Chains A and B, each alone.
Chain A
Amino acid sequence: MNAENDHIALDDITLAYFNHDSALIYGIGNIGRQDDGLGWEFIDSLETSSACPKAEKVKFYQLNLEDADLIKDKRRVLFVDASKDATVDTFRLYKAEQKMDFSFTSHAMSIETIMATCWQCFGKIPEVYVLAIRGYEWELEIGLTTRATSNLALAISHVARPVAKQLRQANDYAQCNIGA
């Protein structure tokens, strides 16, 4: 993993950290199922505001094995997904670690498993963060709930906030180490 970047505190992680052409921001979800669309709405918000312009941005319904190939050449990846976790009050940003998770089906895999597969197959792995935004309703309906919309706004304002270390983060980017 990226030991040289471990000094970067989670509080210092902002969009500036991903504003690079070897970074990926990946929205997971389904806009047809209410708050499951949070990941996509996040990406739409970035594109509308032209924020983090250098990063590649993608939106998919769920993770699949080929995403190991998608992330293998990236230096930093931010996954944005809706969360049902009641302990997540509004949103949670955390660093993900690779892990073989055996609860997968042929329809979906976890972020940790994609990372582990990437490592097993390609011998390298990006630095991965997850922005989990709390959602509440998952029925067959288009549109976020009011509370999820509010949580999305809080999450965006958190990662888009200016921090003193942003310039240093941008400089750090060129030095970040890929692979184990």
Chain B
Amino acid sequence: MASRSVAVIGAGQGGLDTAAALRAKGYDGRITLVGEEPALPYQRPPLSKGFLTGAIGHADLTLRTESFFEAQDIELVTGDRACHIDLFGSRIELASGGRLDYDRLVLATGSRPRPLPVPGADLNGVLTLRTLADAEALRALLDGPPRQVAIVGAGFVGLELASTARSLGHEVTVVEAQARVLARALTPQLSRWLADRHRQQGVRLLTNSEVAALYGSASGQVEVLQLRDGTRLPADLVVIGIGVLPRTELAADAGLLVGDGVIVDPRLRTTDRSVYAIGDCARFPDSGPGRHIRLESVQNASGQARCVAAAICGDDAPYTAVPWFWSEQCALRLQMAGLTADHDETVTVGDPDEGRFSVLCYREGTLVGVESVGRPADHGIARRLLATGAWPTADEARAPGFNLKSFALKPPSQRLPARA
């Protein structure tokens, strides 16, 4: 193998999966994984759900044990940060003063919460939720008498947290600047349906509402959230969940091309051929025409990690996986396959009243994504159909009695030919 050492910056899902996949594929060079958090690599999805209720503890969060890294001969550097990349010298400088040479470098630096640019955002009791430390702080505040919790942003983190905080008996208000919840991720119909569910659980949901300022006590503890229209909401805990920003500073400083993410080619290579970028921090070409996208999901981080590990081991193929996402809120399983943002037609199958349905999203007659609630079979089937192109047309899906399970079980000869 040409490459004798791989350095991975970022020990989240993408970074860890890169290191693990390299070894699993037989890579026998040196692997170093550098993470700035003190803990062993852990999974983030439970941080807004089961970890806050206590259903999931630290041991369940940890993705691999310490002995894994020893057994796999992966050098895990925790609590340290890469502060400079020297592309010409193929070397990383660490904040601790250490240096690390590499033949291949993988940037898995992730993202950070987008700050809320209003006065008072630095008061005590104003939190974000991204890291284990964030979740521990939040858990301590939610583990007690009922609080008045204000959540800014009705994205996945905000709504999952709203649901969790409500289940723990807190008063919850969600403030969203857009006209509907999860406007970027969900179709209007699922968005409306989900908002109703949250309201039924007692969450106060204010859309078209922007935060103007946060006010606190003399001791600096947040007490009031004020909206642009002058409405004042009492709040003793405010969580900001208005999206994330890709962490691209290292890449930009090194001279790599960045722009809302580290720009990579279809094989996830940056503008330096020895350097890859994956996961939240990477902006990659979508299979669609001339479009670069950045995705924030476990599946994307993990899939891109395996793609890059394969490339380093000599199996160079573009990244083409169908994106998918999941969320758990209001005791519902919400699953999304594909990217639905620019659909122009939808077909709903199943029964929204029962909480079991899927929304098939088409663009110019092509299935681009499927949202499912309480229909895990539909979700899995949708991922396969999107990957193979053998999906039902909107007319087929609208036929009475249509469901994806029986469609998928039909022998291919009884289906229409696969579409491009």
A and B: real partners?
no
Partner-B contacts on A (CB < 8 A) = none
Q: Give chain B's interface residues, CB within 8 Å of chain A.
A: none
